[in-house]
């Protein structure tokens, strides 16, 4: 059966990589697209609309969203209310937003897969980090991105930190509340108390998107790092895998790792 895709953000950096891949996949069809600057045109034969509400007049099965942090939540809610499942690539939403979307998805009997990073190798970084956190207590995250990235931390770092905070061992480092000087230099915290995970976001020219988990133990250190290059190719296969699988459950799942096995 062909899965009909509604792609929000079709003219963007990721969207432009996804449209030919959807068109080339025998089991997928680009039914409609959203991009304000291309409204009224066609992409890979599909009509492009300025708003999600207009695009939802075209029958579709799955919303794929790669737009902006300020637009994505309303897009997903509109899609769920219209009976679609949703794949969320856009960054910016946190645990509280996903709790709300989870309630809506369950009410509507639809699935959502949100991943801070749809790259398979970045997903392996998350898996290896969670594995190492079972054995090494102290871990912090560095989030590398370009100078103009509008949100911090990145969706990749945020998802990693929120998941890690749920499973990590208590830190042995001095609590930030007891640090003198400028405590903000210890980064942003996700989670509670000694299980909080600190994230340090760098925004500099020459970086595209990278994340590093640094584990420290007495007299030794482990770094696990992923760096994406300048094309959006790493995100295509994982996004399409999610679009194919997302009708298989109800509610929100976070992370491509939940699909890999």
Residues 48-87 that bind ligand NAP (CB under 6 A): 66-69, 71
Site for ligand NAP in 26-55 (CB under 6 A): 34-37
Cβ atoms 200, 140 nearer than 8 A: yes
Only one of the segments 7-15, 24-32, 211-219, 240-248 lies at the binding site for ligand NAP (rule: CB under 6 A); that segment is 7-15
- The tokens for 239 are 């996004």
Strand-pairing partners, residue 214, are 140, 223
Task: Considering only the stretches 115-123, 184-192, 197-205, 242-250, report the one whose residues sit in contact with ligand NAP under the rule CB under 6 A.
Answer: 115-123
Give the pairing of strands 251-254 and 111-114.
parallel
Is 255 among the residues that bind ligand NAP (CB under 6 A)?
no
87, two tokens = 């794949």
Query: Of residues 19, 117, 163, 213, which one binds ligand NAP by CB under 6 A?
Result: 117
Q: How long a stretch of residues is the chain?
A: 261
- Beta partners for residue 217, in sequence order: 220
CA distances for 158 relative to 117, 127, 161, angstroms: 10, 15, 5
Question: Pick from 107, 108, 125: which is nearest to 116 by CA?
Answer: 125
Query: What is the closest distance, in whole angstroms, from the C-beta atom of residue 255 to ligand NAP in the complex?
Result: 10
Q: How far is the CB of 139 from ligand NAP (least distance, A)?
A: 22
- Minimum CB separation from ligand NAP for residue 119, in Å? 6
Which residues of the chain form contacts with ligand NAP (CB under 6 A)?
8-15, 34-37, 66-69, 71, 89-92, 115-118, 155, 235
């Amino acid at each position: 059966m062909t899965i009909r895709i509604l792609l929000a953000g079709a003219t963007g950096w990721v969207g432009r990589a996804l449209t030919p891949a959807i068109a080339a996949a025998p089991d997928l069809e680009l039914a409609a697209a959203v991009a304000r600057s291309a409204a009224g045109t066609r992409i890979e034969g599909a009509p492009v609309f300025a708003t999600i509400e207009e695009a939802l007049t075209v029958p579709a099965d799955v919303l794929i969203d790669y737009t902006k942090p300020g637009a994505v939540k309303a897009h997903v809610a509109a899609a769920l209310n219209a009976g679609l499942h949703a794949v969320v690539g856009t960054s910016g939403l946190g645990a509280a937003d996903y709790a709300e979307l989870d309630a809506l998805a369950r009410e509507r009997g639809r699935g959502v897969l949100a991943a801070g990073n749809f790259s398979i190798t970045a997903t392996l970084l998350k898996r290896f980090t969670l594995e190492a956190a079972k054995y090494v207590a102290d871990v912090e995250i560095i989030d590398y991105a370009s100078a103009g990235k509008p949100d911090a931390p990145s969706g990749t770092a945020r998802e990693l930190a929120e998941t890690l905070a749920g499973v990590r061992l208590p830190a042995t480092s001095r609590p930030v509340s007891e640090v003198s000087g400028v405590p903000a230099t210890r980064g942003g915290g996700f989670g509670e108390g000694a299980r909080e995970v600190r994230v340090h976001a760098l925004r500099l020219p020459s970086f595209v998107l990278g994340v590093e988990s640094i584990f420290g133990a007495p007299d030794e250190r482990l770094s696990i790092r992923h760096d994406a290059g300048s094309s959006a190719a790493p995100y295509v296969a994982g996004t399409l895998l999610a679009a194919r699988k997302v009708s298989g459950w109800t509610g929100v799942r976070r992370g491509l790792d939940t699909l890999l096995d």
